[in-house]
Amino acid sequence: MNGLSLFLDVNESAAVDYFPIAVQLIFAVGFVVTMIAVSAWAGPKRKTSDKLETFTSGIATHGDARQPMAVKYFLVAILFVLFDVEVIFFYPYAVNFRALGWDGFYAVLMFVAFFLAGFIYIIKKGALDWEG
């Protein structure tokens, strides 16, 4: 058995392994499309003025919807997402900390140092000051 035939056998078996996933995906998409079509076909179609009115949660509309929002709001939101995603990287270390040993511990310490350096930079720049 040469290297080429071994490579072809691995690729053929890998493609066959994905067939059940493809069938499940086709059934899932078909089910969703079928349920949406059946509900659109069989559901009631009463278009009253109340149903066609814009839903505002019981609050009277006022002003223009295109009013600019403060950039600070978006900055805090982006920083929250950024630091929240960084915290997710602690989970693999927590699960495997014994197997990673001291090398893993030093890597996590370096990660925390970068994390804290970024946080201190953000505080020094005043990105979290709402008053300024």
Per-residue tens of pLDDT for the chain, all 132 residues:
555 555 555 555 677 788 889 999 999 999 999 999 999 999 888 888 877 777 767 676 676 767 777 777 788 888 888 888 888 888 888 888 888 889 989 998 998 899 889 889 988 988 777 775
Domains, in order of start, for the chain = 3-125 (1.20.58.1610)
Q: Is 47 helix (H, G, I), strand (E, B) or coil?
A: coil
What pLDDT digit, counting tens, does each position of 14-26 carry?
777 888 899 999 9
**What dihedral do alpha carbons 57, 59, 61, 64 form, nearest 10°?**
-80
